[in-house]
Amino acid sequence: MINPERLQRFFLDLVQIDSHSREEKDVADYLRAHLESLGAIVTMDDTAEIIGGNCGNILTRITGPLEDRVEPLLFCAHMDTVVPGKGVKPVIDGGVIRSSGETILGSDDKSGIAAILEMLYVLKEDSIPFGEIEILFTVAEEVGLYGARNFDTSVLKSKRGYFLDTEEVAQVGIAAPAAYRMTYKIFGKEAHAGLAPEKGISAIQVAAKAIQNMPLGRIDAETTANIGVIEGGSATNIITPVVTLRGEARSHSDEKLELQVEAMRQALKKATEEAIITVDGKKFQSKFEETSKREYKSFHISEDSATYKLVAKAGEALGLKMGREVSGGGSDANIFNEKGIESVIVGTGMTDVHTVKEHIKISDLEDCTKLILKMVELHR
């Protein structure tokens, strides 16, 4: 049986530990102390050295009396938070824990961490029979899933993973899109904006025309795209020669994703080809350079899979009406599915994440913990 007071204390402790991406060491130290107090052996990989962080992914295993009789299960949550996540002051407002309004709360993903930690304590205290559980806490999820990308999954025994990293407890994330991230550098021609603007090509203006002609936002039910960063310019009296755009595209369809990326590329091509001037008999034309990378692949887990069925069965046993969620965002689960570990995403109750209005119902945090505990109990 879970201990609500202890669970809440875990969560409140965790959100007050600063852990921006690549700065997760203090959270890892907190977890290591608790895990070792339970008799678990904790290891940390070398991801910190690879990504320039102060902490690697941490992995621990616990075994029960059913070891070697049931397949191992993997539970995962990430330790990092988005900005602004330093100096979090959680406020308990009735049955809700919320941010003070100056920072995020950090329930993404410290609610998942707290639930896993409480589950481990209950398994030991209540002598619940189980097999082997692998627990992974990753780093730098929020800035590109870097912890998951650099984790060596060959050290795992589990073939099924459960990632505690979405909102509604009764919704199981069974699908998520593939994504591209793109950087475009647009080159114009510098000139004095007051004395000789006709001798320049404004990279800002070219970028504006390109963006105007790009299909952006909600493209269809499966596809989205966005230009999220524009950088360039140094003074109002200078025709800006270089502008950098950073964007993304996501889709559950690989074909649609490639078409979307190409459509954005063609918009840039057209805008730069049309930006031509002649100065002193010499022709100048705008140009652009593109760096694009597929960040992760899409996944879709069948409702008939044992991975999904275990969550659904546990939820039903607790009286939760379980549903299936098709997400618009990526997570560590994308990487693990790509690496051959069938994974779904479990909700914790986190709400309005990545904003200063972030909050979580205490009852949802408790239900999430009960859900994963019931999954372990039912896994035979």
User: Catalytic residue numbers?
Assistant: 80, 141
Please state at what angle helix 25-37 crosses helix 4-15, rounded to 10 degrees.
Answer: 150
Q: Provide the token pair at 203.
A: 């990279």
Please state at what angle helix 362-378 crosses helix 107-125, rounded to 10 degrees.
Answer: 50
Contact indicator for 175, 351 with CB cutoff of 8 Å: no
Q: Is 236 exposed, middle or buried (0-12, 13-18, 19+ CB in 10 A)?
A: exposed
Residue 20 DSSP class: B
Number of neighbouring beta carbons within 10 Å of residue 175:
19
Contact indicator for 160, 346 with CB cutoff of 8 Å: no
Strands 58-63 and 41-44: antiparallel
Number of neighbouring beta carbons within 10 Å of residue 261:
20
